[in-house]
Amino acid sequence: MSEPHVSLQRLRTLGSIMDELVVIRGTRIRIGLDPVLGLIPGVGDFIGASISMYALFVAARLGTPPSVVLRMAGNILVDAVLGSVPFLGDLFDVGWKSNLRNIALLERYAATPARTRRTSQLLVAGVVIVVLGVIVAAAWAGAAAFRRIRGML
């Protein structure tokens, strides 16, 4: 087996363990280790995100473009941040499945590199624009509030 194939197979196994290890009896809902780790207050989501970051190292080693790796990192970040909300975050983890999302992204990149790279670049650019917009809006609101408070004194 070639090295990329072996790496993707390992990621599939890890993704399955983290996101869909067992079926909840009486449903079609599958959960893995990630939402279970999230139940550990303070460190569970950090441990889950740390394990998920293995996919970033594999992607980089396989020569995946930075835009795709950043998109994968974004999936992990969303999982870690929203997953850290007590109880609701664990329910979010059951549905988000960042590991499986990242594996699918890598497989799409392997099948259609140019299209996946372009889509990831647009998504990353969009996120950067939104974040910059929020920063500018927050700075403007802070300055307006400061002027208003200063005018009241």
Using the predicted structure, report yes or no on whether residue 27 has a pLDDT greater than 70: yes
Tens of pLDDT, residues 103-144: 999 999 988 888 888 888 888 888 889 888 889 999 999 999
Using the predicted structure, report yes or no on whether residue 31 has a pLDDT greater than 90: yes
Name the band, by pLDDT with cuts 50, 70 and 90, for residue 2: low
Using the predicted structure, report yes or no on whether residue 42 has a pLDDT greater than 80: no
How high is the mean pLDDT of the chain?
A: 89
Based on the number of CB atoms within 10 Å of its own CB, is 9 exposed (0-12), middle (13-18) or buried (19 or more)? exposed
Name the band, by pLDDT with cuts 50, 70 and 90, for residue 25: very high
